[in-house]
Amino acid sequence: MPPAPELPCPFRNCGRKFYNSSGRTQHVNVVHRELTPPPNVDERGEEHAFVYHRHPVLTGKPCDDHGNNLPQYSPPVPEAPKTAPGSWHPLEDRIAFDFAYHEFVVQKGSEGSTNQALDIWAAAVRKHGGEIPWENSKAMYALLDEIQHGSCSWNSLKMRWNGPLPENPPKWMTETYELCLRDSRKLLHQQLRTPDFKGKTRYVAFRQFDEQGNRVWSDLMSSDWAWKQANQIAADHPNDAPGATFIPIVAGSDKTTVSVATGHQMFHPVYMGPGSITNTARRAHGNGMLPVGFLPIPKVTSHEQKDPEFAKFARQLYHTCLALIFEPLKPGMTEPEIVRCPDGHLRRVFYGLGPYIADYPEQVYLAGIVQGWCPKCDANPKALDAKGALRRSHQKTDILMEFFDTGVLWSDFGVRCDYKPFTYHFPRADIHELLSPDLLHQVIKGTFKDHIVTWVYEYLVATEGEAAAKAKQADIDRRISVVPIYPGLRRFPEGRNFEQWTGNDSKALMKVYLACIVGYVPARMVQCLSAFLDFCYIARQNSLSTADLAKLEDALQRFHELRDVFIDAGVRDSISLPRQHSLVHYARSIRLFGSPNGLCSSITESKHIVAVKKPWRCSSRYHALCQMLRRILREEKLDAARQEFTKQGMMQFSTSVYTEMVQNGWVPEPLEDEDEEELLRDEDDLGPSVGPKVLSSIKLAKTTEPGYPTGLYDLATYIDSLATFPPAFRRFLWSINNPESERPTHTIPIDECPSFSGKIYVYHSAIAHYYAPSDLCGAGGMYHERIRSTPCWQKSFPRRDTVLVEVDEDLLGMRGMVVGRVFLFFSFKFQGQKYSCAFVHWLELHGQDPDSETGLWIVKPEFLGNQPSMAVVEVDCIARGAHLLPIFGNTPIPATLHFSQSLDVFRAFFVNRHIDHHAHQFIY
């Protein structure tokens, strides 16, 4: 049995104890850090606290089970456990639970593979006279169905055409359609009880301001819409609203194909989740969005699809199903009910239909408009971006229907009058307002991939001819393929020439495409793409201020002015495209709903994998939906049970260690509620980081690399830098002894520099931690990336990454930075102090401003005479990694050039500010 923990938490009233100081430090950083949202960081990296104005009526106060407000700091009202403490019911023990969880959730094993695993397990234990809990997989599944945790079962409703039937009715009129759904109210309660959302839930609508008084929009509860909904609830329900909580429902739907080979098998899932959680929590793979229904898909011939009667029926069926799915929540939209929240407290809650996530074809269905029109405004399809368009609303549509006939509504206003959107049935809901911006389909796949990338190739064809255009496109693809490596950057070995595009492919190509078309298209075309990228990266931030929205609208205006280059070049006759037009509504939508990255269809598309595609692959393909729904429910039960068992301390240690400890008399104790600690594995290149927020820091890898000489000149000879490394190293020692000197280090005569006889230890990487609130960060808003300098990366080629080194903290952006390429990470002791350093080759800025065509800074490798300009710097000077894009010029790229050689063969580079959101804000 392990020793008892003895080190107490230094915070009073905590009571936690730890085995070692490292565990205690991590606990303090995660649990007892300042519980305010990340502070603002201005252009100089200086932090300022936000100011918050919280709604004065719907204040989200905890209450008891009768709805009475609790005194401040009161503990949550205890909840009756579904099982006795320490019980694994209905499973036998930890071994049975871990086996079921591993087979069903982790491995997603089929019935056959589970039977095989059970047979092997049975053979192992029967040698010693033991028995296993189940004879076969069916017995295991039956027991899983008895789990009470996370139980929100599926039901089905059948419906059909109820109008008059013609003499020979088409099949769709006589078909029975099945809606699979579950109780949306019960599912929402299950999501709100998720302990992972503790500390990630906003119980009060708020307005956020930076030090300059600028409004800041981030999560949905910081939006104008949430504040307006709270005001309306307070006005309509003056007796019930004070102290209550408003919980908006974020929903989304999207058709998905699971198999083309077996006849385009399609499903139409609907997802929902609480809008009170943060955007980061909703994007994560968890309970933020769960399937609540599967809509029926009427299957007809292409001829029948054009039948107006069928089109009307299909839309009415669609909206009837959506109304039925959300019907259980309707009473709670006008009368509060008591709900348990992620922090364990009970609160009186009002519901409301919130933003709806959908791509354009789905938005057309939802809004009741004609294809080609905008679902948000009445702009004419022939000139969508013309000034003067007015916003749509249910009220406006009702007035139009009162005064105009069907033909005028269709042709002049783009309104279909054969059905009404499902939001008509719910209070405070208007689908035209609730449709959220869709970064994936409108910006990333739509405007970038489907429009700009396609138009660039069409321009080459129009100006060069088919053969020459293909040759230039092939060279653009080679340029893309030789872009230097960077953590998290998807590689394109064949350029952009691949058939199946995903959203991640488009995001990755967006990071490098700008530099790869320079020289092959007019400067205005490059500037057009640069303006669009500015718009895209601003829109994808986690939070946006008034100043950010001004920059967003400026970038959009520049993009609209510059995109006429495609018309002038003959690529387009006009540009009036619904997905591109949607960008006009982004500034208002951000004010309305907060940052778009928490309301993007990439969230629902990622849910397709776990809610549709994987369950379908595990099915027999015959009546697959029923099997899929059972699997979804069982996985949710196992996940919910695991969360409960974890809270009770029953998931500590490995299965074997836990079992042995219990046999020896150890009894697990409930754990304190706290965020799970995210551990940084040594092989991770990038990702979220744990810990308090700092602007940036960098540390060398945990272990030194064996095989390197430890003497200065022996090491210099080994790395083939005898002429540059010893002088740079000794001049660095001189700078240590002369910290106040203003003499340029490289001018110091080597005879004046100290000699060194100690040991030098080499590392192949360092980890940079920095504040990156626009990325998927960890506790405190921190992110990390690994910077590498190794002679043999992946056993095939050397890798020497580039970094940004701060040289003048008083200058902003690149004017206070210099780029260096790291040829060695090392540490040593001098005068009793340890130093962690990097040996870098400087790249100097070319010009005083960014390139006018791309908007990117240009750097060139620096040389002193015939020798590269090298220096030793402390790793603390490094801000983060840098990504360089070669300036390719007009010479075609050799087919034999490998991307690992690009930093060596090219003589000038763009500093890529589009590599991630943080770089886009940091490098300007």
Whole-structure pTM value: 0.86
Contact 182, 154 (CB under 8 A): yes
Cα–Cα distance between 219 and 592 in angstroms, integer? 11
How do residues 424-469 score in pLDDT, each as one tens digit? Answer: 999 999 999 999 999 999 999 999 999 999 999 999 999 999 999 9
Cα–Cα distance between 573 and 688 in angstroms, integer? 46
Predicted local distance difference test score (pLDDT) of residue 780 = 40
- In which residue are the tokens 């839309």 written? 315
Is residue 12 over pLDDT 70? no
3-state secondary structure 665-679: CCCCCCCCCCCCCCC
Residue 286 pLDDT grade (very low, low, confident, very high; cuts 50, 70, 90): confident
Per-residue tokens: 641: 């049970």
Specify the higher pLDDT residue, 775 or 277: 277
How do residues 655-703 score in pLDDT, each as one tens digit? Answer: 999 999 989 988 888 776 443 333 223 334 444 443 333 345 788 998 9
Per-residue tokens: 276: 């009170």
Predicted local distance difference test score (pLDDT) of residue 87 = 87
Cα–Cα distance between 539 and 582 in angstroms, integer? 13
How do residues 30-86 score in pLDDT, each as one tens digit? Answer: 344 332 333 344 433 444 467 899 999 999 999 999 999 999 889 999 887 777 777
Contact 540, 447 (CB under 8 A): no
Strand partners for 884: 911
Is residue 371 helix, strand or coil?
A: coil
Q: Find the largest Cα–Cα distance for the chain.
A: 106
Q: CB neighbours of 833 closer than 8 A, spacing ≥ 6?
A: none
Cα–Cα distance between 108 and 225 in angstroms, integer? 41
Please give the average per-residue pLDDT across 545-571, as a whole number.
Answer: 95
How do residues 288-297 score in pLDDT, each as one tens digit? Answer: 999 999 999 9
Around Cβ 163, how many Cβ atoms within 10 Å? 10
Is residue 647 helix, strand or coil?
A: helix
Peptide bond preceding 754 in cis form (omega within 30 of 0): no
Per-residue tokens: 264: 């385009």
H-helix or E-strand spanning residue 843: strand 833-845
Is residue 534 helix, strand or coil?
A: helix
How do residues 490-511 score in pLDDT, each as one tens digit? Answer: 888 777 665 556 667 888 899 9
What DSSP string describes 722-765?
TTTHHHHHHHHHHHHH-TT--S-GGGS-GGGSPP--S-EEEESE
Predicted local distance difference test score (pLDDT) of residue 496 = 65
Please give the average per-residue pLDDT across 608-617, as a whole number.
Answer: 90
How do residues 734-744 score in pLDDT, each as one tens digit? Answer: 999 998 888 88
How do residues 830-861 score in pLDDT, each as one tens digit? Answer: 999 999 999 999 999 998 899 999 999 999 99
